A = this chain, B = another copy of it.
Amino acid sequence: MAKSKKSEPIILITNDDDITSPGIRSLVEAVKGLGKVVVVAPDKPQSGMGHAITIGSPLRMNKVNLFGEIEAWQTSGTPVDCVKLAVDKILHRKPDICLSGINHGANHSINVIYSGTMSAAMEASIEGIPSIGFSLLDYRYEADMEPARKIVHKIVSKIMSQPVMDKHLLLNVNIPSVPYKEIKGIKVCKQAYAKYDESFDERIDPQGKRYFWLTGEFKNFDKGKDTDVWALQNNYVSVVPVQFDLTNYTLKKQLEKSKLFK
């Protein structure tokens, strides 16, 4: 891991649950001995924001005192905005690593697409900053974060202790919600093909008008043992390496062969 000249590595931390969530506090606690930590995170919940950026309105940013001696800023933007602001306006350089989370709830399989946690990490990766998103399979703010904290420390130490594998390194780490001693290990996986069977709960407001709430049942169509869903079901921590080149090369070849557009 490249260090800043004559100084500690800079660890940028963000999330999508908002800067006051227990998850980001646990992430800070887990890695604060490994470098100079700087927190830049949203001032309100941004779950499900995907890779949203704020282009039509201005952003606000304020320094806050939430993590003792650790420098921390809250912004009115999305998780992706936070990474952009951190690099351009706070650090004035790229951090050595960017960590996002710990998200309250799973971001395995197709959730990587919807996840604000992962999109912040992806933004850093596009910028050439090695980056990791962490999620715990427990939505509750009261969840025991101690096992996740240990796992985070282990993974970040390992990644930071060796030469940069890939400047676009991007990992999606999900942690099962079980006691530490029940975690069987850390497994490198592929993203499972799974999706939500969605439906909207239709209701009537006090003015007699219809409104809709999104609900959905998670369905895993992927029976492989090499997927993140399988790993988590079997009490492994799942690590999925993620890329931002979305080209479907198989379909590209097929289309070229078909001469459909000639």
- Name A residues whose Cβ lies closer than 8 Å to a Cβ of B: 45, 47-56, 58-61, 80-81, 84-85, 87-89, 110, 112-114, 119, 122, 126-127, 155, 158-159, 162, 165-166, 169-170, 185-191, 193, 195, 198-200, 202-203, 209-214, 239-249, 251-252, 254-256, 258, 260-262
The answer to whether B254 touches A198 (Cβ under 8 A) is: no
Decide: A199 near B247, CB < 8 A? Known: A48-B54, A261-B239: no
Decide: A202 near B89, CB < 8 A? Known: A244-B113, A247-B242: yes
Contacts of A45 in B (CB 8 A): 56
Decide: A48 near B58, CB < 8 A? Known: A195-B127, A252-B190: no
Q: Which of B47, B58, B188, B248 makes the CB contact (< 8 A) with A212?
A: B58
The answer to whether A251 touches B166 (Cβ under 8 A) is: yes
The answer to whether B200 touches A59 (Cβ under 8 A) is: yes
Highest count of chain B CB atoms <10 Å: which of A81, A191, A245, A255: A245
Contacts of A55 in B (CB 8 A): 47-48, 214
* Copies of this chain in the oligomer: 2
The answer to whether A119 touches B252 (Cβ under 8 A) is: no
Interface of chain A: mostly helix, strand, loop or mixed: mixed
Smallest CB gap from A54: residue in B: B214
Q: Which of B53, B85, B112, B248 makes the CB contact (< 8 A) with A242?
A: B248
Decide: A84 near B214, CB < 8 A? Known: A47-B55, A254-B165: yes
The answer to whether A51 touches B241 (Cβ under 8 A) is: no
The answer to whether B246 touches A203 (Cβ under 8 A) is: no
